């Protein structure tokens, strides 16, 4: 048990409705000051197997539980999240360094909404029966079984519950493996599910490293679904392990998304959208980190961007006046700096930032904007996952689209334009799972979400989530004799 920002947090696993410890532990370090805040049980094959067995034991009963009762329990979990919203927010800020104001105002309320949305959507899920030569076709969504969910560190609880809620709603049981850098709110969620009355074994949490606990989970033959959010290299390992059991996968991976700014756009809006890409210290997979600006307005856009971005307040994320906090971990901090220094060596110019914030020290990296970057260079093509943007110019719409689609990724794209016709033309040609026009990060849980190319496999959200977390069945019935 650890006390984090005044909140008691268990460091053990949650398996079959009980706290379970491992012989070894690992340190959980806060990015705010790089101090150890908790010791966490280090799970591996033994704990993963126990969690899958517990989930498998609970599955028959839970899968037969009525939709109405499942929905009631998901709403009860949402109630528990809302009752502890302040605690969840400060613990997650301490654990991953994201802004407390964001956790309070948006992220933790979204956690509760994830459960409520899928609870309600479950009750409307269905397909009209249809006839084939007098025979009735009836489509149903059958629970698939045990789901292994492996989640990232940049928005730990929100992204975990985006998977947990539909998996549970569908009648599956869950084993969650949270990121080892940010395990604390997953542990608190286990307490909340127990207090809400979720039966033992329906929801389980195994802490540990991906190469140990995560690898054991995805290779377990008792797992019938794997959903992963993270990097492309890790996804390749997961895909290989899951292939042995033909386990279906949902993969939401990296991105190198563009923001296209056309000369007919509202430049104030375009600049606001561009500066917003520094959200969460640039640690957002959807971020439009490649600014592609029409040549005729590039100078004015750049001047306005530099002025606005330079005014951002970097500091302690627990301060509600802070705009940018620290990077998540020393390893990630050094990775970001490596990208920046190599870009400099290749001739790129940092108009702002370009290195650590020496005034703050620690893991604080200055918001950076590079110009003079070469097409095809590392800084343009590879995901940095930090507060580093590049700015390139284009002359024609055709060139803009070509530049936007020039990487191996296809997670999202944003465009700013005053022309409805251009917005329609360009959006149709962009390779992306989500396109935002004159806005950013507007997400409805009814919409499909996922990536193209190496940004992922599959879609989740609304019916798409249930399509993944269920086995769809069509029952064909001959006419009954009267």
pLDDT, tens only, 239-295: 999 999 999 999 999 899 999 999 999 999 999 999 999 999 999 999 999 999 999
pLDDT given for residue 144 in this prediction: 97
pLDDT given for residue 482 in this prediction: 80
CA atoms in the 13 A half-sphere facing the CB of 469: 28
pLDDT at 109 > cutoff 90: yes
Band of residue 205 on the pLDDT scale cut at 50, 70, 90: very high
Co-location of 220 and 277 in the same domain: no
Distance CA 250, CA 449 (A): 11
The percent of residues in the chain predicted with pLDDT above 90, rounded, is: 99
Co-location of 166 and 236 in the same domain: yes
Co-location of 112 and 40 in the same domain: yes
Residue 446 belongs to some domain of the structure = no
Co-location of 225 and 367 in the same domain: no
pLDDT at 196 > cutoff 90: yes
Residue 442 belongs to some domain of the structure = no
Q: What is the mean pLDDT of residues 400-406?
A: 97
Using CB atoms within 10 A of its CB, is residue 70 exposed (0-12), middle (13-18) or buried (19+)?
A: buried
CATH number of 463's domain: 3.40.605.10
CATH number of 388's domain: 3.40.309.10
The percent of residues in the chain predicted with pLDDT above 70, rounded, is: 100
Residue 482 belongs to some domain of the structure = no
pLDDT given for residue 274 in this prediction: 98
187: its two tokens: 């542990």
Residue 31 belongs to some domain of the structure = yes
The length of the chain in residues reads 482
pLDDT at 111 > cutoff 90: yes
Q: Give every CB contact of residue 395 below 8 A, 6+ residues apart in sequence.
A: 294, 295
Question: Which residue has 């269905």 as its token pair?
Answer: 126
Co-location of 245 and 277 in the same domain: no
Residue 428 bears catalytic tag? no
- What count of other Cβ atoms lies within 10 Å of the Cβ of residue 425? 13
Distance CA 103, CA 133 (A): 55
Check: CB of residue 337 under 8 Å from CB of residue 300: no
Distance CA 230, CA 162 (A): 14
Per-residue pLDDT tens over the stretch 217-233: 999 999 999 999 999 99
Co-location of 246 and 284 in the same domain: no
Q: Give every CB contact of residue 60 below 8 A, 6+ residues apart in sequence.
A: none
Residue 480 belongs to some domain of the structure = no
In 3D space, the residue among 78, 482, 457, 454 whose CA is nearest the CA of residue 256 turns out to be 454
Distance CA 299, CA 294 (A): 10
Greatest C-alpha distance within the chain: 85
Co-location of 329 and 232 in the same domain: no
Mean model confidence pLDDT for the chain: 96
List for the chain the helix, strand, coil content (%; round to 5): 40, 20, 35
Co-location of 430 and 458 in the same domain: no
Check: CB of residue 186 under 8 Å from CB of residue 11: no
Q: Write down the catalytic residue from 53, 92, 285, 470.
A: 285
Co-location of 247 and 266 in the same domain: no
Co-location of 373 and 397 in the same domain: yes
Co-location of 158 and 273 in the same domain: no
Q: Write down the catalytic residue from 252, 294, 383, 460.
A: 252
Co-location of 12 and 154 in the same domain: yes
Full domain range(s) for residue 177: 2-253+451-475
Band of residue 442 on the pLDDT scale cut at 50, 70, 90: very high
247: its two tokens: 């386990």
Residue 252 bears catalytic tag? yes
pLDDT at 479 > cutoff 90: yes
Beta bridge partners of residue 259, listed in sequence order: 291, 414
Residue 316 belongs to some domain of the structure = yes
Check: CB of residue 55 under 8 Å from CB of residue 174: yes
Residue 445 belongs to some domain of the structure = no
Instruction: State how many domains the chain has.
Output: 2
């Amino acid at each position: 048990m650890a006390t984090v920002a005044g909140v008691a947090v268990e460091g053990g696993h949650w398996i079959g409705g009980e706290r379970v410890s491992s012989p070894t532990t690992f340190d959980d370090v806060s990015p705010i000051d790089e101090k150890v805040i908790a010791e966490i049980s280090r799970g591996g094959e033994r704990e993963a197997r126990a969690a899958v067995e517990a989930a498998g034991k609970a599955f028959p009963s839970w899968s037969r539980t009525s939709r109405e009762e499942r929905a009631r329990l998901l709403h009860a979990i949402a109630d528990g999240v809302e009752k502890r919203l302040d605690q969840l927010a400060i613990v997650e800020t301490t654990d991953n360094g994201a802004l407390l104001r964001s956790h309070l105002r948006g992220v933790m309320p979204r956690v509760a909404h994830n459960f409520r949305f899928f609870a309600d959507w479950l009750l409307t899920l269905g397909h009209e029966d249809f006839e084939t030569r007098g025979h009735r076709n009836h489509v149903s969504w059958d629970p698939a079984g045990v789901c292994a969910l492996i989640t990232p560190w940049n928005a730990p609880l929100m992204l975990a519950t985006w998977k947990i809620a539909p998996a549970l709603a569908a009648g599956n049981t869950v084993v969650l493996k949270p990121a080892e850098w940010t395990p604390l709110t997953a542990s608190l969620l286990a307490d909340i599910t127990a207090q809400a009355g979720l039966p033992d074994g329906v929801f389980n949490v195994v802490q540990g490293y991906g190469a140990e606990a995560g690898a054991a989970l995805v290779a377990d033959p008792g797992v019938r679904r794997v959903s992963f959010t993270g990097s492309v290299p890790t996804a390749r390992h997961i895909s290989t392990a899951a292939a042995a059991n033909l386990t279906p996968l949902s993969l939401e991976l990296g991105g190198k998304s563009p923001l296209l700014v056309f000369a007919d756009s509202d430049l104030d809006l375009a600049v606001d959208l561009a500066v917003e890409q520094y959200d969460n210290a640039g640690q957002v997979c959807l971020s439009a980190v490649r600014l592609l600006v029409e040549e005729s307005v590039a100078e004015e856009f750049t001047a306005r961007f530099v002025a606005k971005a330079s005014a951002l307040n970097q500091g302690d994320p627990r301060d509600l006046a802070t705009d940018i906090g620290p990077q998540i971990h020393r390893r990630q901090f050094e990775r970001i700096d490596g990208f920046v220094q190599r870009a400099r060596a290749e001739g790129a110019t940092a108009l702002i930032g370009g290195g650590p914030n020496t005034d703050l020290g620690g893991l604080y990296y200055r918001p950076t904007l590079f110009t003079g970057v070469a097409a095809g260079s590392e800084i343009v093509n590879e995901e940095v996952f930090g507060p580093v943007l590049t700015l390139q110019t284009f002359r024609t719409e055709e060139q803009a689209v070509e530049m936007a689609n020039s990487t191996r990724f296809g997670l999202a794209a944003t465009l700013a334009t005053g022309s409805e016709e251009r917005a329609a033309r360009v959006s149709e040609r962009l390779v992306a799972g989500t396109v935002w026009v004159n806005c950013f990060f507007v997400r409805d849980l009814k919409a499909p979400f996922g990536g193209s190319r190496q940004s992922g496999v599959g879609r989740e959200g609304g019916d798409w989530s249930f399509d993944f977390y269920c086995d769809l069945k069509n029952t064909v019935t001959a006419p009954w004799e009267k």
